[in-house]
Amino acid sequence: MKQLVIAIDGYSSCGKSTTAKAVAALLHYAYVDTGAMYRAVTLYLLENHITFDDLAGIEKALHDIHISFRRNRRTGRNELFLNGVNREDDIRQMRISNSVSEVSVIPMVRHAMVAQQQQMGRKRGVVMDGRDIGTTVFPDAEVKIFMTADVELRARRRQEELAAKGEIVPLEDIIENLRKRDHLDSTRAESPLRRAPDAVLLDTTHITITEQVDFVLDRASSALFAAGWD
């Protein structure tokens, strides 16, 4: 059976990653969390005291940044490794969330990450979630989903994720962060967050993760059937 590229784009904390991971596992596809890649770049710049307007420093840093994903056999999680070190938990910190949109608007950063993402998905059979998968990374993806949800609900989800890792953040701070990121992601000049014309809208405000996964799987089945691949 020919394999698909499934692109899941949308706003932060809509359930993109959870849904994408589950879909990838059920289809035995690779899963790539592209947002984690931008978080890794952000972490590297912060730890190496490279300011976001130091373009020469960022260009050099991009040559020194090596990102990979490895499946944790114990937890089943697909975890990010930065230069050979597991940094999955570090990139999820609020300080990274507060800066990642500023880093992701830098054209050279986006060009470098998009090139890596296209390389990861060149053989297809992949589920990618992010902001510009269906518009820039894989505009020819057979399945395109654009996810959204109420901002307060998104903030509560994010607050629970942070609390589970021992990071307590006021809900108001998270709402402010999400709104800032939404604005930066949607208005940046380079690969802005937008719904591709052929992407199906999925509002996750009032549905479960299981329903989200079923929604994507139904679209994948329809894509296979329409192309005569099933």
Kindly state the tokens that stand for 173. 């701070």
Determine if residue 76 is labeled as part of a ligand binding site.
no
Q: Which of 212, 209, 8 is nearest to 126 (CA)?
A: 8
Q: What is the DSSP letter of 66?
A: -
DSSP letters for 158-215: HHHHHHHTT----HHHHHHHHHHHHHHHHH-SSS-----TTPEEEE-TTS-HHHHHHH
Distance of alpha carbon 170 from alpha carbon 159, whole angstroms: 8
Determine if residue 99 is labeled as part of a ligand binding site.
no
Determine if residue 16 is labeled as part of a ligand binding site.
yes
The sign of the CA dihedral 213, 93, 38, 151 is: positive
Place of tokens 């991971």: 21
Distance of alpha carbon 109 from alpha carbon 34, whole angstroms: 12
Determine if residue 15 is labeled as part of a ligand binding site.
yes
Determine if residue 11 is labeled as part of a ligand binding site.
yes
**At 101, which helix (H) or strand (E)?**
helix 100-104
Q: Specify binding-site residues.
A: 10-18
Would you list which residues are annotated within the binding site for ATP?
Answer: 10-18
